[in-house]
Amino acid sequence: MTIRVKVLDRPIEEVSYIRSTLSGLATTFKHMIDPHKVTMQYPEERWDLSPRWRGTHRMLTTETGKAKCVACGLCPTVCPANCIKLVPGEDEEGNRYPLIFEIDEFRCIFCGYCQEVCPEEAIHLGRHYENAEFSREAFVYDLERLTAQMHPVSELWDPADPSGE
Amino acid sequence: MSEPREVKMVSVTIEGRTTVVPEGTNLIEAAKTVGVLIPHYCYHPGLPVAGVCRMCLVDVEKFPKLTPACATSVMDGQVVHVHTEKAREARKGVLEFLLINHPLDCPVCDQSGECELQDYTFQEGRATSRYEEPKRFNPVEDFGGDVMYVPNRCILCTRCVRFMGDVAEEPVLNVSERGDRAYIGKAEGHDLTHEWAGNVVDLCPVGALLSKDFLNKARAWELDRSATVCTGCSQGCNVTVETRDNTVVRLKPRSNTEVNHFYLCETGRLNYRWMNRRDRLDQPMVRVQGALREVDWEDALDAAAAALGNREVTVLASPNASNEALFLAERIIAKHGGQGVFRVERGGEAPLAGVPDLSLRAERAANGTGARLLGYTDLAEQRKPLQIGADSAVLVLDDLLEGDIPDAVQQLLAAGARLVHVGTTLPDAIAARVDVALPITNHTEEEGTFTNLRGRVQRFLQARTAPGLARPSWFVLGDLTERLGASDGFYTSAAVFDALAAAHESYNGLSYARLALRGLPVLDAEARGLTVEAIHA
Ligand code: SF4
Ligand code: SF4
Ligand code: SF4
Ligand code: SF4
Ligand code: FES
pLDDT digits (tens, 9 = 90+) for A86-138: 999 999 998 999 999 999 999 999 999 999 999 999 999 999 999 999 999 99
Is the pLDDT at B148 greater than 90, yes or no?
Answer: yes
Q: Does B218 touch chain A (CB under 8 A)?
A: yes
Pairwise CB contact (< 8 Å): B108 & A72: yes
Is the pLDDT at A163 greater than 90, yes or no?
Answer: no
User: DSSP string of B284-329?
Assistant: -EEEETTEEEE--HHHHHHHHHHHHTT--EEEEE-TTS-HHHHHHH
Confidence of residue B1 (pLDDT cuts 50, 70, 90): very low
**Which region among B114-118, B338-342, B504-508, B523-527 has the lowest average model confidence (pLDDT)?**
B523-527
Distance from C-alpha of B93 to C-alpha of B54, rounded to nearest angstrom: 10
* Cβ neighbours of residue A37 closer than 8 Å, sequence gap 6 or more: none
Query: What one-character DSSP code corresponds to residue B165?
Result: I
Pairwise CB contact (< 8 Å): A77 & B215: no
**Residue B107 is nearest to which of A89, A90, A120, comparing CB atoms?**
A120
Q: Does B106 touch chain A (CB under 8 A)?
A: yes
**Which region among B217-231, B341-355, B518-532 has the lowest average model confidence (pLDDT)?**
B518-532
pLDDT at B415: 77
Pairwise CB contact (< 8 Å): A73 & B215: no
**Residue B107 is nearest to which of A89, A90, A119, comparing CB atoms?**
A119
Residue B347: how many CB atoms within 10 A of its CB? 13
Closest CA in chain A for residue B112:
A72
Distance B534 CA to ligand 3 centre (A): 47
Q: What is the mean pLDDT of residues B272-295?
A: 95
Q: What is the mean pLDDT of residues A19-23?
A: 92
Distance B104 CA to ligand 3 centre (A): 6
Q: Does B220 touch chain A (CB under 8 A)?
A: no
Which of A74, A86, A93 to mutate against chain B (most B CBs within 10 Å)?
A74
Chain B hits for A95, Cβ within 8 Å: 108
- The distance of A77 to chain B (nearest Cα, Å) reads 8
- The distance of B230 to chain A (nearest Cα, Å) reads 27
pLDDT at B73: 95
Cα distances (Å, whole numbers) of residue B246 to A102, B9, B206, B302, B464: 20, 47, 27, 32, 5
Q: What is the mean pLDDT of residues B3-27?
A: 90
Which of B219, B223, B249 to mutate against chain A (most A CBs within 10 Å)?
B219
The pLDDT tens digits for B437-456 are 999 999 999 999 999 999 99
Q: Does B34 touch chain A (CB under 8 A)?
A: no
Closest CA in chain B for residue A94:
B216
pLDDT at B52: 95
Is the pLDDT at B3 greater than 60, yes or no?
Answer: no
**Which region among A100-114, B342-356, B397-411, B474-488 has the lowest average model confidence (pLDDT)?**
B397-411
- The distance of B221 to chain A (nearest Cα, Å) reads 9
What is the reported pTM? 0.90
**Closest by Cα among B190, B129, B161 to B48:** B161
Q: How many CA atoms lie within 13 A of B86 on its CB side?
A: 12
Closest CA in chain A for residue B244:
A87
pLDDT at A164: 64
**Closest by Cα among B323, B315, B311 to B484:** B311
Distance from C-alpha of A44 to C-alpha of B433, rounded to nearest angstrom: 75
Is the Cβ atom of B117 under 6 angstroms away from ligand 3? yes
Confidence of residue B256 (pLDDT cuts 50, 70, 90): very high
**Residue B219 is nearest to which of A73, A95, A120, comparing CB atoms?**
A73
Chain B hits for A72, Cβ within 8 Å: 106-108, 112, 219
Distance from C-alpha of B56 to C-alpha of B69, rounded to nearest angstrom: 5
The pLDDT tens digits for A22-80 are 999 999 999 888 878 777 888 898 888 999 999 999 999 999 999 999 999 999 999 99
For the sheet containing B247-253, what is the strand order?
A: B224-229, B238-244, B247-253
The pLDDT tens digits for B326-348 are 999 999 999 999 999 999 999 99
Chain A hits for B213, Cβ within 8 Å: none
- The distance of A148 to chain B (nearest Cα, Å) reads 24
Q: Among B106, B114, B201, B211, which is best to mutate for testing ligand 3, by the most ligand atoms less than 8 A from CB?
A: B106
How close are the terminal C-alpha atoms of chain A, in Å?
75
pLDDT at A16: 85
Is the pLDDT at A139 greater than 90, yes or no?
Answer: yes
Is the Cβ atom of B94 under 6 angstroms away from ligand 5? no
The pLDDT tens digits for B212-229 are 999 999 999 999 999 999
Pairwise CB contact (< 8 Å): B216 & A119: no
Q: Closest ligand 3 atom to the C-alpha of B113?
A: 7
Helix (H, G, I), strand (E, B) or coil at B415: coil
Helix (H, G, I), strand (E, B) or coil at B344: coil
What average pLDDT is seen over chain B? 94
**Closest by Cα among B312, B164, B238 to B516:** B238
Pairwise CB contact (< 8 Å): A77 & B219: yes
How close are the terminal C-alpha atoms of chain B, in Å?
12
Burial of A39 (0-12, 13-18, 19+ CB in 10 A): exposed
Chain A hits for B217, Cβ within 8 Å: 88-89
Closest CA in chain A for residue B109:
A72
